[in-house]
Chains A and B, each alone.
Chain A
Amino acid sequence: MKHDEFYIGYLPKAPGTLSGFLRRTVITLAAAASVIALLLVLGQAPFPTATFEFGDFKPWEGTLIRAGGVPVLLTASSSMPVLLVAPGKHGFTEGAHGRRVRIEGSRITRDGLTMLEVKPQSLQAIGEGQALARTEPVMATLYGEIADSKCYLGVMNPGQGKVHRDCAVRCISGGVPPLLIASDGRRVVLLNTGDIRDYIGQQVKLDGRLSQWGDMWVMDEVRTSYK
C-alpha cells in the first residue's frame, strides 16, 4: 500500500499528512464548485427588460372594457389599452363593461404593453365611460409562442419557454389573458382560443380574426395548430 496512514472517523484527530491531503482535496472541490457556479451563471440566456412594481399600488382611472372576455382599462393619456389581472394566477373579474372606474393597481410592463395587477375590492365605478376604437377584423395567420400575458410582461423573468410552460398553463386556466409573442415582433392578445393547453410555450401557428383595439393587437376566434 502506498499510504501508510489510517483514518478512523470517530477518533478526535486525523493523521497529519492525511489532513494535508484532505485540505488540498477540499480546496480543489471548492474551487471547482466556484468555477461551475460562475460558468452556469454566465451561461444563462439573457433576461429581457420587464418590470413588475410588486406591492406598489397606485390609483388609475379610465373606462373598463370587457369585450370578448379580456378586461382592459382605456385611459385618457394613451391609445394603448391597459390589461387588467387579479393577484396570483387569476383573471380580473370585478366591475361592469363600459363604466368609468377608479382602481388601484401595481404596474407590469414590457414591449410597450402595460398591465395592472388590480388590488382586490379597490374598484369604484364613477360614471359612464368612453367607447373603444376598434378596427374591422380580418382573417390572418400568425406564428409564434403563446405565453400568459402576466408572467411574460414581467411578473416572472423568464416568463416564457419550456421552463415556464406549466406556470403559463396555470395562469391561462385561471383567466389570465393568453398573449402571442409573434415571430413578426407583434404582441397579440388572444380571445376565444378554446383549449390551448398543449400549445403553450412552444412555436405554433394561429389562424383567427385580427383587429386592433386602439394600439393593441387582438386576435379573436383563434384556431391553433403545430407548425
Chain B
Amino acid sequence: MSVQYQAVQWNPQKKAYDLTLLACVVLYLGLFVGVGAVIHPNATAETLLIRGLGTGAFLLLHVILSIGPLCRLDTRFLPLLYNRRHLGVTMFLLALAHGAFSLIQFHALGNVNPLESLFTSNTRYDSLAQFPFQQLGFFALLILFLMAATSHDFWLRILGAQVWKRLHMIVYAVYALLLAHVSLGALQSEKSLLLALVMGAGLVVICGLHVAAALHEQPVDSPRGAGEEFVAVARFDSIPDKRAIVITLGNERVAVFRHDNKVSALSNVCRHQGGPLGEGRIVDGCITCPWHGYQYLPGTGASPPPFTEKVATFATKVVDGQVYVCPRAKS
C-alpha cells in the first residue's frame, strides 16, 4: 500500500487481465479493418483505421464506465475493477492513435501546421450541423491524457484521494464530449442509422446501470443516530462472520465488522480510492478492501506495518445480542 506503488506488480492475474484486454482490442480492430476492407474495397485503409480506432476507444469507454455500477450491483464483477486503470490507459492509447491519424490525414501537409488547422479550418460554432466536431475530440483526448498520466498510485498520493477522485470523475465530461464529437461529426455524414442506434444503446446501458446501482444503494442511505450516545444498528447474529454490514451514522458511512466474537466499526471509505470497505472481508485478521486489497486492522483502523494508512474507527458494544455503535468517530 504505501510502499507498494514504486513498481508495477506483475502477477498471473494481472497478466491474464492484460492479455485478455489485448486480445479483445486486436479482435475488434481486426474485424473492423479486415471485414471493412473486404466489403468496402473502395474505402482507404486510413479511413478504416481512423474509424476502427475511434469506435474501439469509445466502446472501451463504455466498458470502463459500466464496471463501477456493475460492481455495486454484483460483487462478482470486482475482478474487472481491480485493474480498471489498465482499461483506461489502453483506451487513451487507442484514442490517441485515432486522433493522431485524423490530425495527419485531415490537417497535415497543408499551408498551416496541423494544430492550427484543427482550430481554424472550421469556426462555425453557431451551427450544430456544421459544428467543428474535431475540436471536441481534441479536448476529450487532452483530458484522457491527463487522466492516463495521473493514473498511477504515485499521483494518487501526491494529489490526495479526494482531488484524484475528482479528477477522474471528469471521465463523464469526456463521455459527453465524445457523444457530441460523434453526433456532430460522423453521424452527420452517415446515411444509415446503425451508428446512431449503437451509440444510443450505449447511452441507455450507461445511464441504466448508474440508475440501477443508485437504487440498489438506497436502503443503507437513510441516516440515523445524530446526537445519540450509542445507536442500535443490528443483531449480532445478522452480521456474517468476517464480514460487515454498512450503515449511515450522521453523514458518514460506517462498516460494522464481525470477527469471531467481536465487532468493530470503521469508516466505510478506503483510504486508497474510496472503495467500500464494508463489502470487503477479514482476511488473515485484516479488513481487506474489495477493490484493490488495501488492509486495515479491525481494532485500530490502521494498516499493518510498514503501511501507514488509517481509517476512522467508532466505539462499539454488544448487549443481549444487539450491536451498538457510537455515532462519533474515536479521536
Contacts and interface: CB of A to CB of B under 8 A. Distances in A.
Q: Do A and B come from one complex?
A: yes
Contacts of A39: 194, 198
Contacts of B109: 87-90
A29 B24 contact: yes
B47 A157 contact: yes
Nearest to A19: B79
Contacts of A158: 47, 189
Contact of B110 (A34, A88, A202): A88
Interface string B97-123: 000000001111111100001100111
Interface of A: 1, 3, 5-14, 18, 21-22, 25-26, 29-30, 33-34, 36-50, 87-90, 156-158, 161-167, 169-171, 173-175, 197-198, 201-202
B79 A36 contact: no
Contacts of A1: 75, 240, 243
Contact of A90 (B24, B75, B111, B123): B111
A170 B28 contact: no
Given A42-B39, A45-B191, A7 B130 contact: no
Interface centre among B13, B83, B117, B240 (most CB of A within 10 A): B13
B40 A165 contact: no
5 contacts: A9-B82, A18-B79, A88-B108, A163-B188, A198-B124
A7 B107 contact: no
List of 10 A-B pairs having minimum Cβ-Cβ separation, nearest first = A43-B194, A88-B109, A9-B82, A47-B42, A89-B110, A162-B188, A166-B121, A167-B106, A170-B110, A37-B31
Interface of B: 9, 11-14, 20, 23-24, 27-28, 31-32, 35-36, 39-44, 46-47, 51-52, 55-56, 59, 63, 74-80, 82-83, 105-112, 117-118, 121-124, 129-130, 132-134, 185-186, 188-195, 198, 240, 243, 280-281, 283, 288, 290, 292-293
A18 B36 CA distance: 37
Contacts of A174: 110-111
Given A6-B281, A33-B24, A39-B194, A170 B186 contact: no
A37 B185 contact: no
A18 B76 contact: yes
B112 to A, nearest CB: 8
Given A6-B290, A163-B188, 12 more contacts: A8-B293, A18-B76, A37-B27, A37-B35, A44-B43, A88-B108, A157-B44, A158-B47, A163-B185, A167-B105, A167-B107, A173-B111
Interface centre among A10, A14, A49 (most CB of B within 10 A): A10
A44 B52 CA distance: 12
A124 B19 CA distance: 57
A18 B79 CA distance: 9
Contact of A38 (B31, B74, B79, B107): B31
B76 A21 contact: yes
A7 B78 contact: yes
B293 A9 contact: yes
